[in-house]
Structures are given as structure tokens and as C-alpha cells.
Structure 1
Amino acid sequence: MKRLHVVCGPTASGKTAFAIELALQLHTEIISADSRQVFRELPVGSAAPTAEEQARVPHHLVGHLSVAETYDAVQFAADADRIIGELFKTHDDVVICGGSGLYIQALLFGFDEIPTVPAAVREEVEELYRRKDLAGLHEVLQKLDPEFMTGGETRNPRRCIRALEVSLYSGRPYSSFKSGAQEARYAFEIYYPSADRETLYKRINERVTQMLKAGLENEVRSVLPYRDRQALQTVGYKEFFQYFDGVYDLETCLEEIRKNTRRYAKRQETWFRHQLLARLSPAQLHGF
């Protein structure tokens, strides 16, 4: 039987290394399910697989877009479906690796068809975010989609912006599109990290240090012209923008990245437990 092997979990949990070893064992390739690794300008801040890692195992959907473009879970699922179809012609197994829960959910279970939002609506929502930050988005979302506001994504600007765009344009709550099909679209197994939180947080702190050495500051500086894009309203980039603006000194900037990454990892853990792991049978779930 053709099968997907989905390696998922919070940031810095060792997904990439495990996925590479798994793909080598299965003699197959990897599809990245990461909402930032798709952008070619963000290899350091997104912890994209290195050239050496990609030489060991072919990776798909890494660095194939510009940060000036937009991308979402529906587009990811369509792209991944196409690649999986090609790989299944010659492989029985395909590895999916990433921490973007909505991308994985869309691929495994599908979404109702979400309408394409016109540029004018997207610009309106982004302008609201620039003027009023997350609080402004939350105020409108509480009225249009209270169910979304009860979930674990309310601190993620990109998710809030997307939810508000769709809600405004479609006239129905974004959360109503997210139920998707209850039946799985593929046979699959999930591999989820078993590291305790203390170990994970230590890895996060080490990763921030490694990213700085790898050139994160210069990477963020290179995308300054795009600082208002959704992909850059995320951990590692927004803090350096504050540093460049003189709000933070460098050490404060790095400590904010560490702190916000830990918070992001905790939100990811909560999402995966409630939205994905809870619907699995014991036979589908493996630790690493």
C-alpha cells in the first residue's frame, strides 16, 4: 500500500534529521510542510534543510517561492498532491516533514474549498495589522469568527491575517472552512517527538545561537523591503526589525527570539495534540 510517513512536531525537535534517516531507510524523498521554508530568501530563519542535507535526500517545496509571493495551506496541499502523485509512480512511501499543522491537516484530511481573496482585501487586512497590531485583528475576528478566537493560533499574526481575509471576503467564518473531510485522503503514519519540554527549550536556545552564526542578521536585513509581508511577521524576523529600528539592542533582540520561539513551540504542541494526534489510532502514532 502506498503510504505517507509524516514527521511533525514543534520547532527544534529534531524533525529534519529524523526525516532524513527515515527517508533513507524507505528509499524515498521528502516533502517539506513548513510555511516559511517555501521562501528562498529565508533559509536561516526557517531552519531549512542545508545543501548537504538535501544532497543526501531530495527535498520538495523548499525555497521554491519568493517572499514577495503569498502561500497558504490550500496551495500547499495542491502542490504536495501533485508531487506525491509523481513519487508514488516509483515509490511506495513518501516522507512529509514540517511543523505547520494546518499544512499537514490540509494534506491528510482536506479543507472545504477556500475562496481566493482579492488583493484589495488582503491589503486592507494588512493595513489594519500595521496600524493596530494583533489587537486590531482580534477585535474584528471576535465578531466575525469567535470559534477561531478559541483556538491555539490567535498569537500567530499570519494565521489571524489569513482568517480575517477569508472571513471578510467570503461572508462566513474562516473556521467553517477548516473542518474538511473526516476521512483521510491518504494512508499515513505520524512520527512525533518525545523530547521533554526542558530538552526542547535547550535546543531552541542553541538553535538561536547557531542561526546568528549562520547569518540570520544579514538574512533579515536582506528582506527589509518586504518587512510588511505576512511571512516576515514571524519569530526571528520581527524581533530583528525592532533591533534595526533601535527598539532593541542585540542581546535583547536575541532573548526575545528565544522567548518567542519557546512560546511558538508550546502553541505548536497544543495544536498537534488537540487537532491531529487526538484523531489517530495507536497504530498510526510513533515517537522519535
Structure 2
Amino acid sequence: MMASDKTLIVVVGPTGIGKTALAIELAQHFSTEIISADSRQFFKEMEIGTAKPSAGELLAAPHHFINSNSITQLFSTGDFEIQALNLIDKLFKEHQLLIMVGGSGLYIDAVCNGLDDLPETDLQIREQLNKKLAEEGLQAIQEQLKTVDPEYYDKVDQSNPQRMIRGLEFFLSIGQKLSSYLTNTKKERPFNTIKIGLNMDRDKLYERINHRVDCMMEAGLMQEVERLQPFRQYNALNTVGYSELFDYLDGNSSLQEAVAKIKQNTRRFAKRQLTWFRRDNSTAWFEPTDSAAVIHHIETLLIKALD
């Protein structure tokens, strides 16, 4: 028996797998709304490189947390947890079911399970690490973090400077590993969750990722990155698809090399996403084309809950 009559359907999986299409189909089938848990799609200035839903897709079902913030604003996982839970509470007054979709595992965990209460860190250390990042590059941060907290290093997005600095800042401030504090103690939520994971043959997924990067370049990703150059110091832009093209604009690579690097880094990111999501045994896995099976699975669980 489920603890509540409200259910959050969570759609997860690697980048480029087809989560948006499934979420829209589910939202239409269940006459409900979609909450995005993609940490890059929050930012209104980043359009092409974040593979946001198209204008048509946004019209096909109500979406939340798409273009909700500016890259110039700090928006943490904790901020998302608070805002998303407030929104979910409000939307559940109108709907029995809601859809949450995204590839940002930490943001999904924050909503479903809650974040751990962590001791405060030394902001001066954060400033020093940001300076180190600017002067020595991300690799220097990665190597230091891998030495002091390999468990945290392996768990998070290694191409995200904010995450890397967070782990290192915690260790240097507290003297203990951040990974040892991440207990994943589940907080009670006033709703049930049904988790749907999407996966497919790895070679086919990598082909889709490579093709999507080519489509982004054709759609004007280079021009988008050029427009964002004045803002490149903001953390939101230290991410796959943007940092490689900034490197090209700095003269550190050819355009062909930069595009190849975007594809490689996106494939690696997809692999890490799958590792993250597979650790949750409550997730039921489907092929992206199996939407009928997904709907049947959800409806079966909802009927069982009424027994």
C-alpha cells in the first residue's frame, strides 16, 4: 500500500536517450505536468548546447524549471530541492500524478530523498580553489580531489568544476571526506515515487550522442558560445559543449578537435549517468521506444497501490 495518493513519476537515463519524448508522452497520457531536473536546462542563456525541449515540445505539455534562471545567478542543488518541493506541493493540489525528468542524479536525489545536512565550509578555501582553477585548470583540481577523496571523485561529474571544488573545499575545510558524509539517509516525502530508467545498446546510444552534437553545431552552437564569451567565468558555462568551444576560441584546439572532444566528453558523461542511476534498485529499466510498456508498468503499480 502506498503511503500517499500522490505519485511522482521520475524518468531518468543518460543524455540523448529520449527522456524528453517519453516525459511528454506520459504527461499527455496522465494529463499532468513536467518538472525538469536537468541542471543545465535551468539557464535561459544556454539553449542549443543543453538540448532543451523544442518550442513544440514545450507546448505539448506544461514544463517547469526550463529557462527558470540566469547563468549569473547562483542556483544550488539545495535551492532546487526547496523550490521543486514547493512547486510539487502546489501542483499536487491539481494532479494525482506528476512527471519529473532529467539526467542530473544529484538534483533528482535531492527531491526524492533529500540532501544530507553538512557542516559549513571555509569560504576562503573556496576562493583559493577558484583561483587555482583559473590559474592551473580543472585537471589540477581533479587530481587533488582524486587523491584526498577518490570515492566522491568517482561518483560525481568530473567535468563539472563546481562539483570538483565542492569535494576538495569540504576536505580542506573539515579535514574529512565529503563522501563519508553522504549517507543517503532518505527523508520522508508526502508522495510516492515510481522511477523509470531509459537505456539502450551502448553503441547505438553513442551514435545518437555523436549525431546530436553534429546537429547542435548545425543549429548554431558555435554562435551561441561566442555570444556567451563575456560570461564564461560563471560556473554554469564550465560544462560539456561550452568549455571545449571556449578552448577552440582561445586557440588551444582546432574546431574539428573541439567537436570531437564534445562528443567524447558527452559519451563519458552518459556512462557516468548510467553508473549513478543503476545504483538505485527501485528503478525499472526500459528501451526508449517502449513507452506502452512504461505506461503499463506505471498503471499496474498504481492499481496495486489501491488494493
Asked if TM exceeds 0.5, the reply is yes
Aligned equivalents of 1:131 and 1:56: distance in 2? 46
Structure 1: gaps spanning 5 or more residues: none
Residue 267 of structure 1 corresponds to which residue in structure 2?
Answer: 272
Contact 2:12 2:195 (8 Å CA) reproduced: yes
Query: 1:99 and 2:103 equivalent?
Result: yes
The CA deviation at 1:20 is 0.5
Query: 1:9 and 2:9 equivalent?
Result: no
Query: 1:224 and 2:239 equivalent?
Result: no
More displaced stretch, 69-78 vs 136-145: 136-145
Structure 1 counterpart of 2:177, one-letter code: P
Structure 1 counterpart of 2:6, one-letter code: K
Structure 2: gaps spanning 5 or more residues: 289-307
Please give the per-residue CA displacement for 1:80-113, whole angstroms capped at 9, x wherever unaligned: 1011001000100110010000011111111123
The CA deviation at 1:176 is 3.9
The CA deviation at 1:162 is 2.5
Q: Match of 1:7, SS?
A: strand
The CA deviation at 1:266 is 0.9
Q: Relative to structure 1, is the Cα distance of residues 221 and 120 closer, same or farther in structure 2, using a 3 angstrom cutoff? A: farther
Calculate percent identity across the aligned residue pairs. Answer: 41
Residue 300 of structure 2 corresponds to which residue in structure 1?
Answer: none
Residue 37 of structure 1 corresponds to which residue in structure 2?
Answer: 41
Aligned equivalents of 1:116 and 1:80: distance in 2? 23
More displaced stretch, 163-172 vs 36-45: 163-172
Please give the per-residue CA displacement for 1:157-206, whole angstroms capped at 9, x wherever unaligned: 33212223344455553324432433553411111113111111111011
Aligned equivalents of 1:220 and 1:68: distance in 2? 15
Please give the per-residue CA displacement for 1:16-72, whole angstroms capped at 9, x wherever unaligned: 011011111111111110111111100111111122211111111111111112222
More displaced stretch, 78-87 vs 152-161: 152-161
Q: Relative to structure 1, is the Cα distance of residues 142 and 199 closer, same or farther in structure 2, using a 3 angstrom cutoff? A: closer
Q: Relative to structure 1, is the Cα distance of residues 150 and 199 closer, same or farther in structure 2, using a 3 angstrom cutoff? A: closer
Structure 1 counterpart of 2:42, one-letter code: V
Q: Match of 2:137, SS?
A: helix
For residues 27-106 of structure 1, the aligned pairs below 5 Å read 27-106=31-110
Query: 1:131 and 2:130 equivalent?
Result: no
Residue 285 of structure 1 corresponds to which residue in structure 2?
Answer: 284
Aligned equivalents of 1:237 and 1:219: distance in 2? 9
Contact 1:111 1:179 (8 Å CA) reproduced: no
Residue 205 of structure 1 corresponds to which residue in structure 2?
Answer: 210
Q: Match of 1:174, SS?
A: coil
Match of 2:166 among 162, 165, 169: 162
Residue 201 of structure 2 corresponds to which residue in structure 1?
Answer: 196
Contact 1:15 1:98 (8 Å CA) reproduced: yes
Aligned equivalents of 2:124 and 2:108: distance in 1? 29
Contact 1:111 1:177 (8 Å CA) reproduced: no
Q: Relative to structure 1, is the Cα distance of residues 118 and 210 closer, same or farther in structure 2, using a 3 angstrom cutoff? A: farther
What TM-score, normalized by structure 1, do the two folds share? 0.89
Q: Match of 1:190, SS?
A: strand
The CA deviation at 1:151 is 3.0
* RMSD between aligned residues: 2.2
Aligned equivalents of 1:57 and 1:116: distance in 2? 40
Structure 2 counterpart of 1:99, one-letter code: G
What is the aligned residue count? 282
Match of 1:242 among 237, 240, 247: 247
Please give the per-residue CA displacement for 1:129-172, whole angstroms capped at 9, x wherever unaligned: 12222332235435654431343544543321222334445555
Residue 187 of structure 1 corresponds to which residue in structure 2?
Answer: 192
